[in-house]
Structure 1
Amino acid sequence: MQALEMMFFRRVSSKTLRPLQRSRLFGSNSGYDFSKAIQELNKEMESVFGEPPKSSLAGSIDNQSMAHDSESAPTHVTQSISSSGLTHTDSRGEAQMVDISPKEITKRVAIASCKVILGQKVFDLVSANQVEKGDVLGVAKIAGICGAKQTSNLIPLCHNINLSHVALNLTLSPQDLCVEIESEAASNGKTGVEMEALTAVTIAGLTVYDMCKAASKDILITDIRLESKSGGKSGDWSRKK
């Protein structure tokens, strides 16, 4: 590489960069001489390094346009997403708490479920009520009810609603060596109770884990899902349909 550079500078200095007379540099035809010198220099550079990559003002404009488009893309994306039904984001893509004041008061009910897979050892302990911390199913049931009532404190954009009913059922399943948990939440209000039902089963499942973790770390909380909901503008929905 150094030899190539030396050859380039020798050729440029001997042909192109020769001293220009003061009269030629500042005379009436100096613009022509300077332009010719640049052309000769470009030819010498091409002979040594090859042709330069093509560039143009149009390319520069295209690049600027692309950069502008990339900067503005998130706004367009978030606007289209918001218009498609994500009510917790505004037209700029920022998080917002939904204004439910125009909505009608209706009876809202939601049912959710999950499973806590215990394994044979822990399942036998829970079935015999021999877990060191005590009654696993009873404590998890109370925890789930408390969790449902704390949903708006746990999920930032949930409304603080008045629950009229929360119930949990925890059933041992010998076939899957698990605890099946189902919750039902109800309210007479302007927004649904799906999150309250889902929070109830999640907190109940975590409580089962906490009660049994000393006996095994392989416990798995799985299949947290909404089973059905009723009330509100969207009407009734069921996973079983």
Structure 2
Amino acid sequence: MISHGVQFSIAQHAQWAPGLETDSLWDEWAAERTLISPTNNTPPGVQDMPAMLRRRARFLGRMALEVAYRCLGERQDIPTIFCSRHGEVDHSVELIQELNTEGGISPIGFSSAVHNATAGLFSIARKDRSNHIAIAAGASTVEHAVIEACSLLEDGAQAVLLVNYEQALPPVFERFQDCLEQAYAWAWLIVPAREDSVTLQWKKGASISADTPCDVSGVSPPGLDILHFHLAKSASLERSANGLQWTWSRNSDAV
């Protein structure tokens, strides 16, 4: 069976979740793999962003912006990829309810619900005209974002910022979920492969019937599985999603 793959390195990383705001707490999470259960709804500060723009971001967007700023630092002219399987779906539900009861929605409310809203805020705040992309690709959203990042590297980019961010689904969508969604965000600064590179390979895999019963209580979100692979320095990670078999592996040799 034919397989395909890309290879890259992670030059910098950052992650944030409610109750997991520091690197040491994330190290503990990587060792114990505990459920991320928010104890409060206080969003990250995103102090590097002007207040006027920061106020336009909701909780999910603020998590993404926080890790994006932490990971990118003062670097400029870096293409960015913001990837989220569901995006601001809770806000979209609110807008639909508002449309149903009031017959209309505010332009500001709509603009903050579109999938590239957070990427746009980040670009505007930094006055950065670099390429930015928003991706949603189901259960393999992160994998497709990595492929896109490696394509940009192949086209000549020196580095690419990849941000993955998710949150719990609103109750109306819970019966459709195939994993226990949790609130988190992480960012990688992806560069061409060097020492300690990562390889992502994929090939056609067995399809899973949509009618297959699934208890999602113990199923982790794909993005957290992949983050754990990185933080725990695991040798490999096997995933099946979107009809493909995905294999993440860590390489110790220079490329």
For the superposition of Structure 1 and Structure 2, which TM-score range results when normalised by the shorter chain? under 0.3
- Decide which structure has the larger Cα Rg and report it: 1
TM-score relative to the length of structure 2: 0.24
- Which has the bigger relative contact order, CA under 8 A and spacing at least 6? 2
Structure in which a larger fraction of residues adopt helix: 1
